[in-house]
Structure 1
């Protein structure tokens, strides 16, 4: 084989590789130009015990409707939406879907001719498909900075027992897992087609594996339409599917959603006429001990207050942290609830 022919044999694959690499770079650049103006940074509740007070949203109408995921960030029914240009607007919750966890917010004052994403019923993630995720991970983008662009691959389907977005939800591989700010992120195919919305991370309790579920575009499109018709009840204090809330009905109080094994034992709600309210317990209190036993997580609290650990008619002594003070309260279990 002549030297010139040998060079050609090596040069052709190299040219093909360079062309493919250049084409992919152009596709990512085009997708980035499409995605960034349509993604907003949301700041709201959370912050307790290190829980994130920020996440991501996607503009889905020209006048400023925003699709995201219902988390503690939205616990007050509103959030601050930081737009791509750095401007800030109040975003009030219009409604949320308890099955998928999708929440719809409305920016106030309304936007005018804003670029938005149209989720379509025929565009859904496919196994093995490359994906681009736009999300405000770690809350890095607080102004007009672009949100993070993360690459991933649609890896498979989540088992029904682990899914927060319904049985068979797809999830991303080779993507950042276990990071705050990801819920509500926009998921695009490599060609820039919107294929989904990032949900909360899911942890398999048996293996400890953490995956990032994607609510597919067809589900997002359907839920947005339903929320706009008002067919779903206005935002409820109940969490989305897959999230546990510890409720102590006999005493009349409930905890913040239990999102991980280390979720801090903060009180989220105290019924107005209840034994807990009479004893002085209030929303926002951090329970640090039950009797002489230290409490470091909600699961500790559940174990200590469970009927098999104490007599049902015994008083419940709680030490709580309220601001910078420690307060001891006693709930009289023998007294009848009002």
Structure 2
């Protein structure tokens, strides 16, 4: 967004038509609520639950909806709810593990406008955005970017330039993030208490930038995901605590569990290299090769140094595949 003509919104308030240069009602009508049901025996059910709710954004005239992927991973039933209360069945098109984006396709005609995709590379701290859930103006709030920075998630996930907005939207999962042209600049992913990236607790949302979708959109539509080999996945949730990397959880039946990694283990190194920081840990693992590569870890457990070798996997291989309708 250009800096010579700043877009000044009333922060934290619902957007008003006189604050924007586009048709606000039409733009917000592209946002739908999304309800999914996941089988009880799904791999992600113990963590994410079997009934999930969030938002999605219509991005094509044939009813393709972009959302955040954890809402639709392993989903067998999906419903889209528009601003008039209309319910529309949909099915999963695909999910990208690396970005976290998910795509679903309405099974019937939505009669909703598609929101154009913006460019997220040019935005920066201080820019105004609208974060919107389904429900029109009352479900949208004026926000501001507080930081654009690297984000590492404990579930083996890294974004180079995640967008952080304040104040936090109460229905952030899959929410539309809209720029001053009325175009989609990102998708809501998380509620974050340290949105500024420092020690101050400032409630905000982490947004996945839309530019990450563009190179992979056609692949997800045609193949359900990226065609290239998957990154190595360990099935290990890792947390940073007092400058240490601690294993906080293990996926049942996953590679780390089979190799003998235990919750509470402290990760000291990967492939003989000392590691500090979540993003460094994950990037080092991914640098070893594709899914299936062996990953040597050095751990600290019960006052002892423990070496384990994990035969990594592809996370998608553990998930139920989308059901074709």
Is the contact between residue 123 and residue 193 of structure 1 (CA under 8 Å) also seen in structure 2?
no
**Equivalent residue number for residue 253 of structure 2:** 249
Q: 1:78 to 1:231 in 2, by over 3 A?
A: closer
Q: 1:129-153, CA deviations, whole angstroms, 9 ceiling, x for partnerless residues?
A: 10101114xxxx5xxx766011110
**Alignment-derived partner of residue 154 in structure 1:** 145
**Larger CA Rg, structure 1 vs 2:** 1
In the alignment, is the contact (CA less than 8 A) between 1:55 and 1:73 conserved in 2? no
Q: Shift of the alpha carbon at 1:200?
A: 2.4
What does the per-residue CA deviation read over 1:6-29, in whole Å, with 9 as the maximum and x for residues that have no partner? xxxxxxxxxxxxxx99x9751348
Change (3 A) 1:31 1:242: farther
Q: How does 1:126-275 map to 2 (within 5 A)?
A: 126-136=124-134, 148-162=139-153, 166-173=159-166, 175-176=167-168, 179=170, 181-202=171-192, 207=199, 210-230=203-223, 232=225, 246-249=250-253
Q: Hey, what's the Cα distance between the residues in 1 that align with 2:193 and 2:76?
A: 27
**Structure 1 residue 81, shift from structure 2 partner:** 0.6
Alignment of 1:1-338 (within 5 A): 26-28=18-20, 30=22, 32-45=24-37, 53-72=52-71, 74-109=73-108, 111=109, 114-121=112-119, 124-136=122-134, 148-162=139-153, 166-173=159-166, 175-176=167-168, 179=170, 181-202=171-192, 207=199, 210-230=203-223, 232=225, 246-249=250-253
Q: Contact conserved, 2:48 with 2:70, CA < 8 A, in 1? A: no
Confirm or deny: 8 A CA contact 1:153 1:172 kept in the other structure.
yes
Structure 1 residues 39, 101: CA separation in 2 closer, same or farther (over 3 Å shift)? Answer: same
Q: State the Cα RMSD in Å.
A: 4.3
- The alignment's TM-score, normalised by the length of structure 1, stands at 0.53
Change (3 A) 1:121 1:226: farther
Structure 1 portions without partners, runs of 5+: 1-19, 255-306, 309-338
| Partner SS for 2:217 | helix
Partner Cα separation in structure 2 for residue 38 and residue 149 of structure 1? 12
Give a deviation string over 1:194-239, Cα, whole Å, max 9, x none. 22221223466995665412222322333323312327259x9x89
Contact 1:70 / 1:103 at 8 angstroms: preserved in 2?
Answer: yes
More contact order relative to length (CA 8 Å, sep ≥ 6): 2
> Which of the pair is proportionally richer in helix?
1
How has the CA–CA distance of structure 1 residues 37 and 105 changed in structure 2, closer, same or farther, with 3 Å as cutoff?
same
Aligned residues: 224
Of 200-209 and 50-59, more deviation after overlay is shown by 200-209
Equivalent pair of 1:31/1:190 in contact (CA under 8 Å): no
